[in-house]
Structure 1
Amino acid sequence: MIWRLVVLGGVCVCLLAAEGKSRGGRTVTFRRTQRDESQGQVRARPRRETSGSSGTSKLSHGPAFTSCRLPLTPTEHKVLDDNTHETGFNGDDGSYVILTWVGDGTGVILVLSTISTPLDSFLEGGSSRLYRSTDYGKSFHDISQRINNTFIREEFGVSVGPGSSVILTADTAVVDNPGGIIFTSTDAGATFKFIQLPFHLAQPITYHFLNHDYLVALSIDGGLWLSLDFGAKWTKVHDGVHSFSWGAGVNLFFSCSRVDTVEADERGDLVLKRTKDLGKTFTTIHEDIFSFGYIGAFLFFSVMEDSRSPRVMYFSSDQGDTFSRALLPSASTEQFYSILDGDEDMLFMHVDNPGDTYFGTMYTSDDRGILFSKSLERHLFDGHRKSDFTNITSLRGVYLTNKLDKDGRIRSVISFNRGGMWRQLNKPENVDCTEQTKNCNLHIHGEHSRNNRIVPMLALSEPTAIGLVIAHGTVGDSLSSSQHPDVFVSSDGGYNWRGTLRGPHHYSILDSGGLIVAVEAQREGQVKTIKFSTDEGQCWKSYNFTEQPFFFAGLASEPGTKAMNVSVWGFRPEEDGQPMWVAVTIDFQSLITRECNDQDYEEWLAHSIEGEDSERNGCILGIKETYRRLKKQSVCRNGKSFVVSKKQSPCLCTREDYLCDYGYYRHVNTSECVRQPNAANKTLEICLNGEEDELLTAGYRKVPSDKCEGGFTPQHAVQTVIRPCGVKPSPGPPARSSSPETHFDTPRERLVLILVCAGAGVIVLVAIISALLAVKRVVYRNRTPAYRFSNLRIQDDENGMTADLESATSSNGTVCQPDSDDDLIE
């Protein structure tokens, strides 16, 4: 018997798995398959299986730490009792429940309960019931009649867009209809409009970033459809489409086959097109592509230049008008690339190492997304192609990830300057390691641990909760899978940590960081207690929110972290064998009634070292940022109107604000960039956007997004001489090559070849000239691989091996593209 639950609500990103064991010895597995924080959605699937044990080994405990526990007063207990509301949703064997928040500050939650039927049933897939709450989940009303009790599909039945827009997709695949059915609402589900589509959906409808009236959909037969009136009318704009993505403005990109049919082509033989007038005209950007994506301000796509060669990556920062090949080490078909994060200034990209190594190299790009610098070696990427890379959104420039060291141990590292430098995390202030521990540091569990069901959720941070980070971790020499993961909190963006909760928990940030809530992840038993803290995890209180415990499925809180209501979701097995789905909503606003005033806030200089009195203290990426944030000892409400305020002041530039330009490297134990040995002059030529850029440089290039002023300035300003080079990669399709291009590594190799083949003095002269020209285009080597911009080759000095310099780059996103090349976006 299988029980499935999908909960959509705003707590943690991409929850995958947590396990529990019932008293009867049966293992319950909650699979959270999808989460879209921007839409306030969480998906979870509990599956009940008969088992004699939980299938997990007993874990040991790490170093002990003390944390503050405070009892609830009788008054506090009564207030919470009076403002805690429990709602039950009757289910059946095979029920599927979706919870989603709608709008910002509306208090509206929609709950969709569906009952699937076997494929051989005479029913049209099953039945659905729709419930709506307008008071943050305190009460729900059955509004199934508003959608005519239509069966809403499970896979992507509920989609929430900008504002208060909602789309419900009916499952009509078993009905002989010309198209599917959707229900649209622009008033957070108060009313719905029935729409018969002229096509059947292949994937969820995609909203425009800013205008919810603009919708794009892909049909099961490869048609690309566009609506400009929130689904009332649809127009087919192209056939044979594989994937699409909105760009800046109303730019819409899509990949399609050459013959307008999905079945007639193969990946790698697609055409990338763009429309910037909502389907009226089209521009071909490139042919022979395998996949593409859009992140930050960058369009990127991989190209199969030849069927016998690996894919090559191209980038564009101007919506595809011009583009250039990324300069990065090559990757064979066994390797992959993955864009980890990106914005309008730069990209983070992982290049996998050959073989099943579980690690690779992380690179950061320049502001054009073309020239990449090595950021971190041995970056962990597990067998599921999942990275532990995390953007700490509560403080600018902070990223957290794990690496697999040569001794086979996983260790956490953090960067405070956007990947410019990485270091291990400090030992938590309230944790002491044993004398046998060689190195005592905090190590954070990420996707690798969640995939292996060691932790229930990832590190959590929010832009409105300045400096606050909550994460599961272990303390010691490396990340441990044999110890119970504990919960650690940082209040300064990851510089300093403290242990706060023993054992794994589900946690959420409320009231812009003024309130943290947590529910223990029970592997054996059911939950009934929620813990909460008003001082960023220094002290905790516990409250029993129900008299009848239930199996936990998820925390649901309004997106944006400004609300003070949280719903605990789960189910209770009933005597008749059917599950009773339960939502318990707790209103903490009734407990914390005082509004914060000016005395409750403090001025905090981010990235600063306490006690240090220097001009550079707090300078990161060229600026100092002083935030106004809530004092830990203040017990009050930030409220819905709270906005983050900060003061910025530029710092004087130093060499640390610059990267070493290509052909230069950072000298050992200094911050000075020096020319690589044997470089004949300071001229470097690269072919970008169809033109040859001759860069005359002093060896420094400012870090993307660095805002320093004055101070250190390279001796010679960068000068650029532009001349044509090769065939300009215009918006039209490039010529297809019938054979692989032959490259030669050095001017000497080119000279020898021509001498052997020609045997004539005139030809020898041509060869010498060719060699001299090639010398200008070489970035000479030191000990590290060197990039030759003219022929895109890379050579390793130590072993003499040469390989094509192939593709490049790939959030979030944390960003999930609808049709992502497995090698590019995970």
Structure 2
Amino acid sequence: MRLYLPGVVKMRFCWALLCSSLRNLRHFPAVMRDPGHLHMPTMTPRLVLLLAACLVACTCVSGQKVSVTEVSVDSAVEDIKWGGADHSVVLLKTIKGRLYRSTDSGKQWYDITNSLVLSETEPGAPATAITVDSMLINPVDKNIVLVVGTKHSHFISNDAGRTWRRLKQRVPIHSWQFHPTQPHWALLSAWSDQCHTASEPAKTAAGGAVTDKACNHMLYVTKDLGVYFHLVSSYVNVDFAVTEDFGRSHRVLIHHTNKFLISNGYTFVTKSEDEAKQTVALMVSTDGGKTFEKAKLPFELSEKSYTVLDTSEGAVMLHVNHGDEGRSGSGDVYISDHKGLRYSLSLPSNVRTTTGETEFDRVLSLEGVYLANFKDDPEAEGALFTAAVEKKTEDKAAEHQEEEVSQTAVY
């Protein structure tokens, strides 16, 4: 895999423009992620064209010649994250699980995968590097980086990837959540070992007795970046709850939930609605979780899953997977009111993956500008438009009837 990146450019504006393009426009189509996080299944030729366009723009502005440096990595680029105090450190992950690092905003790259080595299991056995599954930047301190391995080995860095320390918790990480204000605090969730051996014969304890340990979802907390972990709960159920004493007590806010997201003052929680049809409802709160209301779409369709695309413009951009087999691989994008409750159709047939990633991206440097990819399906679009009109007509008729009843009651 080859990347073409510029060399020394005299005017800082040129390099800032190029870095902004890498972070904001990324590739097209793109996958929506949090700001500063670049997720790319493949590095397409369009990115190379984008870099070339930026270089041409820089040359026109500065009147100076620029040099292009070719950088080769082992395979296609899957993820890029910007870290460090001044965002000059860039970490790059390839689809083969190799990790690369740059300290000059992407001009020069170094393969640092061999820095993430496992301890020798037997005397004389060589240390082996891990395969990187994912990486996460601390939102409070950009120098803190977590690298999740594909199995039981994970590493954390306090200096933006210059040195690494292996976590003592040797479990496959299901999810990791940094604290929003405390840089050294984090929550870790993991499935117990029995969950990973469910298809194998039950393990027996000493004496041949079958163990009764069940498959549980474990929740841990660390206050020292993984030096020590404390068990919060040995069984995490599917209720949305809040705790202020690390699990000793908790208050359930919504029962039978699935996932949640907190973003720009909005709290989103998905709740099981119809178990037989496997549909869910989206609950929204704008007062910190004190009250929740169900999101209302413009017409009745099954709602299988959601992807919150953006909340930074005073409204919610929401991708909904309706589970329509005739339009597999796509969903519909809706835009909400300021409370995130009432939605109208913005873009039908937006391309999505089976894991919920969508080809929809916000341009960080241009307020209110988005890039998206959609399937050209006139029949599906027409059906959606017709359903939307019918639903809107029904709503207006219902409102008119309510007004008549109200006027009758007054007179």
Q: For 2:241, what is the secondary structure of its paired residue? A: strand
Shift, 1:167, TM fit: 2.2
Matches of 2:373 and 2:81, distance apart in 1: 32
1:403 and 1:285, CA in 2 relative to 1: closer, same or farther beyond 3 A? same
Letter in structure 2 aligned against 1:223: M
8 A contact 2:2–2:72 mirrored in 1? no
Shift, 1:278, TM fit: 4.2
Find the counterpart in structure 1 of residue 143 from structure 2. Answer: 164
Shift, 1:202, TM fit: 3.0
1:208 and 1:679, CA in 2 relative to 1: closer, same or farther beyond 3 A? same
Q: For 1:38, what is the secondary structure of its paired residue? A: coil
1:104 and 1:39, CA in 2 relative to 1: closer, same or farther beyond 3 A? farther
1:664 and 1:395, CA in 2 relative to 1: closer, same or farther beyond 3 A? farther
1:155 is aligned to 2:152: no
CA deviations over 1:197-238 (Å, ceiling 9, x no partner): 1x4123453323444322222213221222122222212212
1:95 and 1:152, CA in 2 relative to 1: closer, same or farther beyond 3 A? farther
1:331 is aligned to 2:290: no
8 A contact 2:133–2:149 mirrored in 1? no
1:207 and 1:153, CA in 2 relative to 1: closer, same or farther beyond 3 A? farther
Give matches, 1:200-599, under 5 Å. Answer: 200-203=171-174, 205-221=176-192, 222-241=217-236, 256=237, 270-304=238-272, 307-308=275-276, 310-328=279-297, 329-332=299-302, 339-343=308-312, 345-349=314-318, 352=322, 356=326, 363-370=334-341, 372-376=342-346, 379-382=348-351, 384=353, 390-398=361-369, 407-408=378-379
Matches of 1:167 and 1:236, distance apart in 2: 20
* Structure having the higher Rg: 1
Shift, 1:342, TM fit: 2.6
Matches of 2:160 and 2:218, distance apart in 1: 29
1:355 and 1:99, CA in 2 relative to 1: closer, same or farther beyond 3 A? closer
Matches of 1:306 and 1:163, distance apart in 2: 42
TM-score, normalization: structure 1? 0.33
Find the counterpart in structure 2 of residue 38 from structure 1. Answer: 35
Q: For 2:403, what is the secondary structure of its paired residue? A: coil
Find the counterpart in structure 2 of residue 594 from structure 1. Answer: none
Find the counterpart in structure 2 of residue 191 from structure 1. Answer: 163
CA deviations over 1:331-376 (Å, ceiling 9, x no partner): 337x665544335843244564966257887654444433x15354
8 A contact 1:218–1:224 mirrored in 2? yes
Matches of 1:97 and 1:341, distance apart in 2: 21
User: Unmatched 5+ residue regions in structure 2?
Assistant: 4-18, 45-55, 118-126, 193-216, 383-391
Find the counterpart in structure 2 of residue 125 from structure 1. Answer: none
Q: Aligned residue pairs: how many? A: 330
CA deviations over 1:453-509 (Å, ceiling 9, x no partner): xxxxxxxxxxxxxxxxxxxxxxxxxxxxxxxxxxxxxxxxxxxxxxxxxxxxxxxxx
Letter in structure 2 aligned against 1:318: D
Shift, 1:313, TM fit: 3.5
Letter in structure 2 aligned against 1:134: T
1:86 and 1:225, CA in 2 relative to 1: closer, same or farther beyond 3 A? same
Letter in structure 1 aligned against 2:83: V
Letter in structure 1 aligned against 2:176: I
TM-score, normalization: structure 2? 0.59
Find the counterpart in structure 2 of residue 28 from structure 1. Answer: none
Find the counterpart in structure 1 of residue 53 from structure 2. Answer: none
- Larger RCO (alpha carbons 8 Å, 6+ apart): 1
Q: For 2:142, what is the secondary structure of its paired residue? A: coil
8 A contact 1:150–1:170 mirrored in 2? no
Matches of 1:409 and 1:95, distance apart in 2: 34
Matches of 1:215 and 1:147, distance apart in 2: 21
Matches of 2:79 and 2:315, distance apart in 1: 36
8 A contact 1:96–1:115 mirrored in 2? no
Matches of 1:364 and 1:95, distance apart in 2: 33
Find the counterpart in structure 2 of residue 679 from structure 1. Answer: 403
Matches of 2:222 and 2:325, distance apart in 1: 45
User: Percent of counterpart pairs with the same letter?
Assistant: 20
Letter in structure 2 aligned against 1:356: G
Q: For 1:320, what is the secondary structure of its paired residue? A: coil
Matches of 2:109 and 2:359, distance apart in 1: 38
Letter in structure 2 aligned against 1:206: Q
Q: For 2:239, what is the secondary structure of its paired residue? A: strand
Q: For 1:679, what is the secondary structure of its paired residue? A: helix
User: Unmatched 5+ residue regions in structure 1?
Assistant: 18-31, 48-68, 117-127, 174-179, 242-255, 257-269, 412-659, 666-674, 684-771, 777-826
CA deviations over 1:525-544 (Å, ceiling 9, x no partner): xxxxxxxxxxxxxxxxxxxx
8 A contact 2:32–2:361 mirrored in 1? no
8 A contact 1:153–1:170 mirrored in 2? yes
Letter in structure 2 aligned against 1:331: L
1:676 and 1:338, CA in 2 relative to 1: closer, same or farther beyond 3 A? farther
- The alignment yields a C-alpha RMSD, in angstroms, of 5.2
Matches of 1:100 and 1:678, distance apart in 2: 53
1:395 and 1:677, CA in 2 relative to 1: closer, same or farther beyond 3 A? farther
Q: For 2:404, what is the secondary structure of its paired residue? A: coil
1:289 and 1:147, CA in 2 relative to 1: closer, same or farther beyond 3 A? closer
Q: For 2:35, what is the secondary structure of its paired residue? A: helix
Matches of 1:200 and 1:396, distance apart in 2: 42
Matches of 1:146 and 1:315, distance apart in 2: 43
Give matches, 1:702-717, under 5 Å. Answer: none
